[in-house]
């Protein structure tokens, strides 16, 4: 096995001190650009590799951020991760990404994996199964900061980045009421997650203010399949709904397609509003009214908060709560003639 090239080998080759070579490789401003160029060229030619392991032992840092998300096959999560990566890379950190597949047990195992990999900090979005965060306590014991986003614990001192779910659901429901809907259903999940609980409360607030009829229907999953499957049951109701607010766009599109198969006119017979502004919302006909919010902004803010705290650039990094704005995008699925 060939011996690893060291900074002493490069120093000998260039007739420089080892400290000068080390500073040049770290882009230290005290070293002039010509010397940096010579050192980097020589290092590449000789096959030098930075000894990250040894550096981590000295600094007690891995320059790694652990990220735990419920699922990766989500446009919102993809946007969040893109925002995080933008900040993390710019600050010289790496990311380890895991997904819980909506399993609390898997989420706990992911947390252990992050802990054993000695990540400098964690950014997490919780599963829909429970609001239990005991498995994150090990990080607090080692002074490793944890930031939550989107799906967050009910009570925590950690930094949290969430969208205004209550207000967004209120706005979506009120929009249906303003379109003349008097009997509105809200399709959602039965879960302890703040995301869906807050949307339920926003729906209820709008219904109660308008003094109109409203009901909540729980789906097994918020996807295309269960959105389609629920429609025959809804159409058997004695009092037919004239508006449906769905907690995400995929399930809303499933509802829309199933209604059209049954000969129901959308929006004149039943108006529909979704949530998330996924790309699918503009592909269907009529296009889907929905709630829009920036996943990328959520990712950027969560990552920046964590790294600022790690770099001692923020005093409040582990205790603040940030609420991100949302916007109703009105499209044909809810706009009645």
Q: Is 175 within a domain?
A: yes
Q: Assess whether pLDDT exceeds 70 at residue 60.
A: no
Q: What is the DSSP letter of 282?
A: G
Q: What is the CATH number for 92?
A: 3.40.50.2300
Tell me the C-alpha distance between 84 and 305, whole Å.
11
Q: Is 80 within a domain?
A: yes
Q: What is the pTM of this model?
A: 0.79
Are residues 211 and 279 located together in one domain of the fold? yes
Are residues 270 and 171 located together in one domain of the fold? yes
Q: Is 125 within a domain?
A: yes
How confident is the model at residue 313, as a pLDDT? Answer: 67
Residue 2 binned pLDDT confidence (cut-offs 50, 70, 90): low
Are residues 154 and 171 located together in one domain of the fold? no
Q: Is 287 within a domain?
A: yes
Tell how far CA 204 is from the center of its chain.
Answer: 26
Cβ-based neighbours of 315, under 8 Å, separated by 6 or more? none
Are residues 177 and 280 located together in one domain of the fold? yes
Taking only the tens place, the pLDDT of each residue in 178-204 is: 999 999 999 999 988 889 999 999 999
Residue 326 binned pLDDT confidence (cut-offs 50, 70, 90): very high
Q: Is 337 within a domain?
A: no
Taking only the tens place, the pLDDT of each residue in 208-235 is: 999 999 999 999 999 999 999 999 999 9
Of the segments 18-22, 29-33, 108-112, 270-274, which one has the largest average pLDDT value? 270-274
Domain count for the chain: 3
Q: What is the DSSP letter of 305?
A: H
Q: Is 335 within a domain?
A: no
Q: Assess whether pLDDT exceeds 70 at residue 54.
A: no
Are residues 172 and 287 located together in one domain of the fold? yes
Query: Sheet containing 94-99: which strands, arranged edge to edge?
Result: 94-99, 64-69, 121-124, 146-149, 159-163, 321-324
Are residues 192 and 263 located together in one domain of the fold? yes
Residue 314 binned pLDDT confidence (cut-offs 50, 70, 90): low
Are residues 97 and 203 located together in one domain of the fold? no
Q: 171 is in which domain, residue-wise?
A: 165-292
Are residues 169 and 287 located together in one domain of the fold? yes
Are residues 199 and 109 located together in one domain of the fold? no
* 211: region left, alpha or beta (phi > 0 left; psi from -120 to 50 alpha): left
Are residues 278 and 315 located together in one domain of the fold? no
Are residues 188 and 272 located together in one domain of the fold? yes
Q: Is 1 within a domain?
A: no
Cβ-based neighbours of 105, under 8 Å, separated by 6 or more? none
Q: Is 12 within a domain?
A: yes
Taking only the tens place, the pLDDT of each residue in 74-86 is: 889 999 999 999 9
How confident is the model at residue 74, as a pLDDT? Answer: 86
Q: What is the mean pLDDT of residues 33-58?
A: 76
Residue 243's alpha-carbon distances to 100, 272, 297, in angstroms, are: 34, 6, 31
Are residues 22 and 117 located together in one domain of the fold? no
Q: Assess whether pLDDT exceeds 80 at residue 318.
A: no
How confident is the model at residue 4, as a pLDDT? Answer: 78
- Strands (DSSP E) contained in 25-164 are 64-69, 94-99, 121-124, 146-149, 159-163
Q: What is the CATH number for 44?
A: 1.10.260.40
Taking only the tens place, the pLDDT of each residue in 149-164 is: 999 998 888 899 999 9
């Amino acid at each position: 096995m060939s011996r690893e090239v060291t900074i002493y080998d490069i120093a000998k080759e260039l007739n420089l001190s080892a400290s000068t070579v080390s500073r040049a490789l770290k882009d230290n401003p005290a070293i002039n650009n010509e010397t940096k160029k010579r050192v980097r060229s020589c290092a590449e030619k000789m096959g030098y590799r930075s000894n990250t392991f040894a550096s981590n032992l000295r600094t007690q840092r891995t320059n790694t951020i652990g990220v735990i998300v419920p699922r990766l096959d989500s446009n919102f999560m993809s946007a969040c991760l893109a925002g995080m990566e933008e900040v993390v890379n710019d600050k010289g950190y790496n990311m380890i990404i895991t997904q819980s597949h909506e399993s609390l047990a898997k989420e706990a195992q992911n947390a252990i994996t992050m802990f054993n990999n000695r990540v400098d900090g964690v950014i997490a979005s919780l599963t829909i199964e429970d609001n239990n965060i005991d498995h994150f306590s090990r990080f607090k014991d080692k002074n490793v900061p944890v930031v939550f986003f989107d799906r967050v614990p009910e009570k925590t001192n950690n930094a949290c980045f969430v969208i205004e779910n209550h207000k967004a659901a209120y706005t979506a429901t009120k929009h249906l009421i303003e379109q003349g809907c008097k009997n509105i259903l809200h399709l959602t999940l039965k879960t302890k997650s703040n995301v869906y609980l807050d949307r339920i409360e926003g729906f209820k607030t709008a219904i109660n203010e308008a003094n109109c009829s409203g009901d909540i229907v729980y789906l097994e999953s918020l996807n295309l399949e269960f959105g389609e499957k629920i429609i025959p049951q809804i159409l058997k109701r004695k009092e037919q709904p004239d508006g449906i607010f769905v907690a995400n766009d995929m399930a809303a599109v499933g509802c829309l397609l199933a209604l059209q198969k049954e000969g129901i006119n959308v929006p004149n017979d039943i108006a529909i509003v979704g949530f998330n502004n996924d790309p699918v919302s503009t592909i269907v006909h009529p296009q889907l009214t929905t709630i829009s919010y920036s996943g990328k902004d959520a990712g950027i803010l969560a990552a920046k908060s964590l790294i600022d705290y790690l770099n001692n650039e923020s005093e409040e990094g582990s205790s603040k709560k940030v609420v991100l704005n949302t916007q109703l995008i009105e499209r044909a699925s809810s706009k009645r003639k």
